[in-house]
Amino acid sequence: MNLVELTGIQLKERIVKREVSARAATEQLFAHIEAHEPRIKAYLTLDMAGALAQAAAVDAKLGRGVQCGKLAGIPVAVKDNMCTAGLKTTCASKILGNFVPPYDAHVVERLKAEDAIIIGKTNLDEFAMGSSTENSGFQVTRNPWDVERIPGGSSGGSAAAIAAAMAFMALGSDTGGSIRQPAALCGVVGLKPTYGRVSRYGLVAFASSLDQIGPITKDVADAALLLAAVGGHDARDSTCADVPVPDYSAELDDLPAHLRIGMPREYFGQGLSPEVRKSIEDALAVYRRLGAEVVDVSLPHTDYAVATYYIVATAEASSNLARYDGVHYGYRTPQKGDIVELFSRSRAEGFGDEVKRRIMLGTYALSSGYYDAYYMKAAKVRQLFKRDFDAAFERVDCIICPTSPTPAFKMGERTANPLEMYLSDIYTISANLAGIPGISIPCGFTAGGLPIGMQILGKHFDEMGVLQVARAFERQATYPRLRPRLAI
């Protein structure tokens, strides 16, 4: 059997039982990557030497009978916007094309502490700004289900790597849907935790009040394990909550009795592909069979989500990205000039179009005379999304809706029209604005064989509930469990 077909947990069990060595698994994985990466292009950096060394260290530890961490020997891919000491971290931007961080992000420290093996850094839309990974400054990642299509974004590299079995687990980041949407489009599991569940220290900021790191995995059990490994308090991130991390894996198979599921009517309206709608409705039927009650709920401010998001996110981004100026590190224009020319040329040459567009939008939204009408208004409207969800969660335990209105679209299909691209995130953005957790799990396929994702949203810090509801479907559902041909 090819080890790459295993989930992370399945592999770990074999490694811990010493049925297979971490080194052998890693070697097999790199052989698989070598075969498929040229077509998928999921990775910006691969670190085979580092990975093999880490694998050997895990094997040695096991050989000495030392207790290993939660992720013992599991090869994990990391989105290239999380800092890895000594390993290039580019955010898929030319402006950080040669940037090697001197430190590890909190999540990377956690991975290492739990004996995971970091295999490389995955592609993304530049600075995580996009929904297709086409905005990468270096390469376009293909969807393993159809290489003419995009993998979604911005964590498209991580999602494609998991779908193509080129990693056992991966980390993504989600600002407006960047974990869930590519997970849906690639037929894998992607979890955006509650804002504050995972430390952002070392995650290169796009929009600080929305960004959250989470797992992209082959199944729900892996997502639960990876979240438990990277979640929890970190004093270096003031917005990281000091809330205990439950043992998600232990209670994963318990489904709350009398489960009430909310179906938000606003998420099933215009623009939703009929095939996606059908697939979600079928999934809800599965839950009814399991004894759950499906209730109609309303999230009345949904129409304002995209507008609110694009003001808050771009405003924060315009400030967060100011530091890339060619002075201290990263790309610097070769042209000589005064300091203003150094700033503007370095940025003009280093950033891609979408990043520039968002910096301009955000700068505008914060400018004196416009601040009240845009940023301030958006900050107020943001409270309404929280209220919408609070009201809904008084009646239901979780909310189920599509992750993305359509399955994976063709490359280049939406690049000419940014607004159309922004609408790809219409069902995922509200969770970021409200700070609540959400997971996307595969729930079926289109007639054309493209995966469809279902989103489960939960209350603040109720990742456990979200995972349990996801896991119940994963165990019970009867849709065909296909794999992309590539991955086999």
Partner 1 sequence: MEYEAVIGLETHAELATETKLFCGCGTRFGAEPNSQTCPVCIAMPGVLPVMNRKAFEYALKVALALNCQIRPTTRFDRKNYYYPDLPKNYQISQNCTNLGTDGYLDLQVDGQMRRVGITNVHLEEDAGKSIHPEEAGSDFSLIDLNRAGIPLLEIVTAPDMRSAAEVDAYMQTLRNTLLYLGVSECKMQEGDLRFEASISVRPKGATQLGNRVEVKNLNSMKAVVGAVEHEIERQTEILRQGGTVARETRLWDEVRGCTERMRSKEEAHDYRYFPEPDLVQVEIHEQWLADIRAGIPELPLARRRRFTEQLGLSEYDASILAESHELADYFEACLRCHNAPKPVANWIANDVLRELKEQRKTPTEFVVKPDMLAALVKLVEDGTISVAGGREVFAEMCKTGQPPQAIVEARGLAQVSDSDALNKAVVDALRAHPAVVADYRRGKKNAGAFIVGQIMKATKGKANPKVVSDLVRQHLDKA
- The count of chain residues that interact with partner 1, using the rule CB under 8 A, is 47
| Identified binder of partner 1 from the candidate list 35, 235, 373, 391, rule CB under 8 A | 235
| Identified binder of partner 1 from the candidate list 368, 372, 394, 419, rule CB under 8 A | 368
Nearer to partner 1, 107 or 225 (CB): 107
| Identified binder of partner 1 from the candidate list 64, 336, 394, 447, rule CB under 8 A | 336
Q: Which of 136, 154, 279, 430 is catalytic?
A: 154
Q: Is 246 in a helix, a strand, or coil?
A: coil
Beta bridge partners of 212: 174
Structure tokens at 396: 């239901």
Q: Which of residues 55-114 bind partner 1 (CB under 8 A)?
A: 81-83, 89, 91, 96, 99, 101-103, 105
User: Quick one: how many helices (H) and strands (E) in the chain?
Assistant: 15, 11
Structure tokens at 157: 């590299």
| Identified binder of partner 1 from the candidate list 18, 39, 60, 236, rule CB under 8 A | 236
- 8 A C-beta contact, residue 30 and residue 51: yes
Amino acid of residue 281: E
| Whole-angstrom Cα Rg for the chain | 21
For 402, list phi and psi in degrees, rounded to 5.
-65, 155
Told to judge if 21 belongs to the known catalytic residues of this protein, a careful annotator would answer: no
- Does residue 208 touch partner 1 according to CB under 8 A? yes
Nearer to partner 1, 120 or 453 (CB): 120
Q: Which of residues 380-419 bind partner 1 (CB under 8 A)?
A: none
String of contacts with partner 1 for each residue 268-307, x by CB under 8 A? ----------------------------------------
Short-list 166, 165, 222, 164, CA closest to 190: 222
Q: Which of 41, 70, 79, 112 is catalytic?
A: 79
Nearer to partner 1, 83 or 486 (CB): 83
Told to judge if 132 belongs to the known catalytic residues of this protein, a careful annotator would answer: no
Nearer to partner 1, 302 or 318 (CB): 318
Give CA separation, 137 vs 197, 205, 430, in Å: 30, 17, 28
Nearer to partner 1, 202 or 453 (CB): 202
Nearer to partner 1, 73 or 352 (CB): 352
Q: Which stretch binds partner 1 (CB under 8 A): 56-64, 266-274, 368-376, 449-457?
A: 368-376
- Does residue 17 touch partner 1 according to CB under 8 A? no
Strands across the sheet containing 212-217: 43-46, 117-122, 75-79, 169-174, 212-217, 189-192, 438-445, 451-457, 398-402, 260-264, 293-297
- Does residue 333 touch partner 1 according to CB under 8 A? no
Largest CA distance in the chain: 70
Structure tokens at 456: 């489960």
Q: Which of residues 237-256 bind partner 1 (CB under 8 A)?
A: 237-239
- In angstroms, the CA 382 to CA 307 distance is 10
- In angstroms, the CA 78 to CA 82 distance is 7
CA dihedral for 78, 79, 82, 84, sign (positive or negative): positive
| Identified binder of partner 1 from the candidate list 138, 268, 304, 329, rule CB under 8 A | 329
Shortest Å distance, C-beta 344 to partner 1: 9
Q: Which stretch binds partner 1 (CB under 8 A): 138-146, 154-162, 326-334, 432-440?
A: 326-334
Nearer to partner 1, 155 or 440 (CB): 155
Nearer to partner 1, 318 or 446 (CB): 318
Told to judge if 79 belongs to the known catalytic residues of this protein, a careful annotator would answer: yes
Short-list 316, 89, 287, 288, CA closest to 210: 316
Structure tokens at 40: 């998928």
Three-state SS letters, 11-76:
HHHHHHCCCCCHHHHHHHHHHHHHHHHHHHCCEEEECHHHHHHHHHHHHHHHHCCCCCCCCCCCEE
Q: Which residues are catalytic?
A: 79, 154, 178
User: What residue ranges bind partner 1 (CB under 8 A)?
Assistant: 81-83, 89, 91, 96, 99, 101-103, 105, 200-205, 207-209, 235-239, 315-316, 318-319, 322-325, 327-329, 336, 339-340, 343, 363, 366-368, 371, 375, 379
